[in-house]
Amino acid sequence: MLPTDQLFSNYVPVLIASIAGFILVFSALIGSRLLAPFSEEREKGTTYECGMLPLRRASTNVGNRFYLYAILFIIFDVEAVFIFPWALSFVGIGPLAYWTMVTFIAILGLGLAYAWKKGALQWR
């Protein structure tokens, strides 16, 4: 366990790194704005489609085939969040902690098996 101010100061570099990352991208864009040519020609703003004009806006119709994966992902990712603290402490707590987690993962495994059987894991 760390004192609170050290917990905070540990994440100061994370803040600095995100600001540095932002400045890095931003300054590159500014540099390009200063150096690169710029023209107002309308034809340059057309969508890349090998010379064809696209029929409709691309964002109108989206074949969203992976929402089932997304739901499963959320379930298993939340599960991973539960497993993380368990994985660091179960040896000290003993077999009870282990078999509890076996039950938990078995229930999730049954869920995965059900999704598999229902064909939710099949990309169509």
Partner 1 sequence: MSTEIFGIEDVNVWVDGLIRVLLIVGFMTVVVMGLIYGERKILARFQQRLGPTRTGPIGLLQSVADALKLVGKEDLRPRNADPWTFELAPYLVFIPVFLGFVIVPFVLDWQIRILELGLLYFVAVSGVNIVGWIMAGWGSDNRYAMIGGMRAAAQGISYELPLVLSLLAVAMVVEVPAPVIDGAASVASDSEYVRGSLNLNEIVAAQHEVPNLVWQPLVMIVFIIAALAELNRTPFDIPVGESEVVGGPFVEYSGIRWSMFFLAEYAALLIMALVFAAVFLGGWAWPFGIWMDDAPPRWAQALAVAAKAGAFIFLVFWIRASVPRLRIDQLMSFSWKVLLPLMLVQVLVNGLVLVYDWPLIILTVVGLAGVVALAAIVDRAVRHPRPRPAVAAQLQGEAAS
Answer for which of 4, 36, 40, 53 binds partner 1 (CB under 8 A) is 36
Answer for which of 1, 4, 40, 53 binds partner 1 (CB under 8 A) is 1
104, 108, 114, 119: CA torsion to nearest 10: -170
17 binds partner 1 (CB under 8 A): yes
13 binds partner 1 (CB under 8 A): yes
37 binds partner 1 (CB under 8 A): yes
Enter the tokens of residue 9: 């100061």
* DSSP reduced 3-state for 34: helix
- How many Cβ atoms from other residues are within 10 Å of residue 82's Cβ? 13
DSSP single-letter state for residue 54: P
14 binds partner 1 (CB under 8 A): yes
53 binds partner 1 (CB under 8 A): no
Least CB distance from residue 9 to partner 1, whole Å?
Answer: 5
107 binds partner 1 (CB under 8 A): no
DSSP single-letter state for residue 86: H
- Which DSSP string corresponds to 35-51? HS-----GGGGS--STT
Binding mask 54-83 for partner 1 (x = CB under 8 A): x--xxx--xxxxx--xx-xx--xx--x--x
